[in-house]
Amino acid sequence: MQSVEAVRWSADGSAVRIIDQRELPGKFIERDLATLDEVVSAIQTLAVRGAPAIGVCGAMGLVTVAQRTLGGQPDFQQRLADVAAIIREARPTAVNLAWAVDRVMRVAAATPGDAEAGIAAMRAEATEIFHEDRRMCRAIGAFGASLVTDGSTVLTHCNAGALATSGIGTALAPVYVAVEAGRRVAVIAGETRPLLQGSRLTAWELARAGIPVTVITDNMAASLMRQGRVDLCIVGADRIAANGDVANKIGTYGVAVLARHHGIPFYVAAPTSTVDPATATGADIVIEQRPAHEVTRPFGVTTAPAEAAVLNPAFDVTPAELVTAIITDRGVFRAPYDFAGAAPAHS
């Protein structure tokens, strides 16, 4: 299987290198993010996306901005805090972004009088977050692969594969590990409207890896489940509340409801950094609202009249009672969910 590196340091380490996912599958373009505006824009416009990937990007982006523009400034710590606040708020729903930025900030705070030493420590921490993410993906794959038997067909929603992380993904990690073990696995990818992350991204990376993938429109899932063509569902998560409620790409809740009705296991795969103990339930999760043009003019094509009102939430919340299990890098959790000792601290 060919590897995909969605986010990493640039060759000389002076910038954050990403695959510009807005261009896929038509064009494969890598970009280097060197300024605060470039980092924030890439996150907000979904050039880089997926909770783990934007966490890594945010951490590396903070280091990049500090190194390029803040070093030697007498008010380094305050300026750094201002930059961190801008990056961490670029997308509010995914907890990994704030978690990663805050980790780097804590390291910087440990060297208050030495900006050069602080930046070096920040770089080391951001690099460790990158490597942790890669290890996390492998661990999720190992724990989740036991749920993917030979001959299985997995339905997934949006993209929670290698393009959403710095490793082999979260929801797709069990698929990749199962295939590496010699099992025959096929994937059904819901197209995931309005920006088609399933058809554009999930199908692209699975096809690149040589794994059979079938793209469906989102409204086909019910019929396929009724026909017995789906064995299990695996999706990712952008934030998991303490009670096991899951925020993920809009449409995930619908898939979970359908899976329950048809008696199909519905699994969520995410790193423990996505578990937010400070969020009691899904009702407390802030849902990002995206621009109307993503619905009315997706990819530049007008699909609705200008006079029509638009709702475009980026995520929805799936109640814990609809989740069969949550696959993490520290094991598989089942209801009643108790993540004590599993989730890293969030500030």
| pLDDT digit string, tens, across residues 251-275 | 999 999 999 999 999 999 999 989 9
347 pLDDT band (50/70/90 cuts)?
A: very low
Helices (H) and strands (E) in the chain, counts: 11, 14
Give the mean pLDDT of 148-174: 97
Please state which CATH number belongs to domain 7-138. 1.20.120.420
| Count of CB atoms situated within 10 Å of the CB of 99 | 24
| Count of CB atoms situated within 10 Å of the CB of 96 | 30
What fold is seen in the domain 141-333? Answer: Rossmann fold (3.40.50)
**Distance of alpha carbon 41 from alpha carbon 58, whole angstroms:** 11
Nearest one of 316, 323, 322, 321 to 269, comparing CA atoms:
323
Q: Is 238 a catalytic residue?
A: yes
Judge if the upstream peptide bond of residue 298 is cis by omega within 30 degrees of 0: no
Give the single-character DSSP code of 28.
-
Query: Is the pTM of the predicted complex or chain greater than 0.85?
Result: yes
1 pLDDT band (50/70/90 cuts)?
A: low
From the candidates 231, 238, 276, 329, which is the catalytic residue? 238
Q: What is the distance between the terminal CA atoms of the chain, rounded to a whole angstrom? A: 37
- Does 280 have pLDDT greater than 60? yes
In the chain, which residues fall in CATH 3.40.50.10470? Answer: 141-333
In the chain, which residues fall in CATH 1.20.120.420? Answer: 7-138
